[in-house]
Amino acid sequence: MTWDQRKLFVSGHVSLQPPSRKTTENGSSRRENTMTYKLHNGTELVQVCRKAFLNTTGLGRFTVESWKKESVYDMNESKEEFNKQRKNRNNRVRAFEDSKAFLNLFLDDLPKQPSHYVRKDTSKFYLEQHFVTLK
């Protein structure tokens, strides 16, 4: 198996679920989710322990955890959830581009004067004297 095939196998056979119960009252637990490991037994998927899954696949614990956490589209997730995440990402990118355009317009509108050195062509501009910055 290639590494990409292994990643695909892990994304299809490991699922993330919220913990079934919280042991801390104040909710300050660092545990975010529970991983469930499944392997094929003939035609059906059987839940196995982490050690059996890792020994069978020959992968390390942190490799499986990082692959599962970074996977963009889980085979067990619905396509609607994936599309919703993509739409949210596009909205963030659009908002970033809008704020970048606003800043460029603001900087272009500041009063400027060309360089005071005697040159035929100058590309440097400086803020006018009466412009004061606040700290």
Adjacent-strand bridge partners of 38 = 47
The predicted-structure confidence for 75-103, as pLDDT tens digits, reads as follows 555 566 667 777 888 888 888 999 999 99
pLDDT confidence of residue 27: 66
- Give the C-alpha distances (Å, rounded to integers) separating 112 from 102, 104, 124, 128: 18, 14, 10, 5
CA dist 134 and 85 (Å) reads 40
Do residues 71 and 11 touch, judged by C-beta distance below 8 A?
Answer: yes
pLDDT, one tens digit per residue, over 4-32 is 888 888 888 998 888 887 777 776 777 77
Q: Across residues 105-130, what is the average pLDDT?
A: 77
Q: What percent of the chain clears pLDDT 70, i.e. is strictly above it?
A: 85
Q: pLDDT (tens digit, 9 = 90+) per residue, 66-76?
A: 888 877 555 55
Q: How far apart are CA 73 and CA 107, in angstroms?
A: 40
